[in-house]
A and B are shown apart, each in its own frame.
Chain A
């Protein structure tokens, strides 16, 4: 009679179902959802594309511009791209990917331009050459070392 007692308990305790259409929060804090990229900080290294097992992320480089594209329809939500991302620009949101009707409809593409690197100014460079000259002069005083071609080129005319 165990099952009859179970049935009576079930009738007393009531249904556990979410009434549909539901209004509850489906996903929790740590749900593995959509990948988001920060376009300001992404450097286009392509480590995420290399790590992605399903080729959902693709990084294409052409000169100074590169594009990062992500197709949630192909994604398996494993998080390997986030593990590999060195500048930590990729994050996983706990959002459900939306339904779609046409293949490739959800693909998002980010176009970015490579940022220019600032080099040090000329006076600081001259000071460095003087230090190199001094070491080269002391070296020649001690023996006759083989001077590498580059250093010979860089050395000022008065050796």
Chain B
């Protein structure tokens, strides 16, 4: 692995940027929702305080392979999300390889799979219910998510993220980006698609039996998911060209704007039932995704 690869993985937009950015975005969501409810909201460093406090707690003792598996799932989630963020062409300079869009989608799917497995492995009934809900929501929104990604890729004929980062006037590209944006609340377990980690309703869902550092890792993975998903939409929306530092600043600014938009939607809506969530994704959003892919194929192949 060469030096620029190392810098992208560990420095920017990798670990050293992604982890504080994740905490910043989580704070942004809590503060925005609080202000919309006429409250004051947490201080800026609150997610950092929570993380450090959780690493200092003792964990309950468990026996057998369960204990190791339960600790492995959040670690896999965090590592795959750091990899996904490192793949984002924040400064598009032609690096990356031709299939990295597919790798990105796979890395973004892994935390959801780990969440489901953690719910089943934890052995509590609340974990099972939460895992079932997350599995159903994942099937529902992946249809739209994958169709949207494919429609964006068809506009250029490649899955390489660096090439997709330069947006065109093809409507397929823009409807595809809208489709990705519609899937983000379900992936982040925000209202209105927050059935899987329904607060208080199923205690804490799949994370009920987690405590201490492992729970801190899950919260960190949640923050990194924010960065990865909003970063993906930002990268597909921002124009390329120019020096690197306005690009980086614009990346963070546009991602934070998406955080505020999604927080507004989450503060304004209630929790949908599973049936209604599936209906939303497989009826309305699927129509949008099919429109995206047909228009991108038409625009690409009409000449």
Tell me if A115 is interfacial: C-beta within 8 Å of chain B.
no
A16 surroundings in chain B (CB, below 8 A): 38-39
For residue A17, which residue of chain B has the nearest CB?
A: B40
The number of A-B residue pairs with CB atoms under 8 Å apart is 27
| A15 in contact with B40 (CB, 8 Å) | yes
Selecting from A2-10, A59-67, A83-91, the interface stretch reads A2-10
* Contact, CB under 8 Å: A4 / B40: no
The majority secondary structure among interface residues of chain B is helix
Which chain A positions have C-beta within 8 A of B105?
A: none
Select which of B39, B264, B268, B269 is within 8 A of A15 by beta carbon.
B39
Chain B residue nearest to A7 (CB atoms) is B36
Task: Tell whether, in the assembled complex, residue A11 and residue B40 are in contact, meaning their CB atoms are under 8 Å apart.
Answer: no
Which B residues from 263 to 300 make CB contacts under 8 A with A? 264, 267-269
Question: How many Å lie between the Cα of A11 and that of B35 in the bound state?
Answer: 6
* Contact-residue size bin, chain B (C-beta under 8 Å from the other chain): 10 to 19
Contact A7 B40 (CB under 8 A): no
Task: Report the Cα distance A13→B38, complex, angstroms.
Answer: 8
B59 contacts the other chain (CB 8 A): no
Contacts A3-B268, A4-B268 given; does A11 touch B39 at CB 8 Å: no
Of A4, A7, A16, A19, which is in contact with the most chain B CB atoms at under 10 Å from its CB? A7
**Residues in B whose Cβ lies below 8 Å from that of A4:** 264, 268
Mark A residues whose CB is within 8 Å of B.
Answer: 3-4, 7, 10-11, 13-17, 19
Interchain Cβ contacts under 8 Å between A and B, 17 examples:
A3-B268, A3-B269, A4-B268, A7-B36, A7-B267, A7-B268, A10-B38, A11-B35, A11-B36, A13-B38, A14-B38, A15-B35, A15-B39, A15-B40, A16-B38, A17-B40, A19-B40
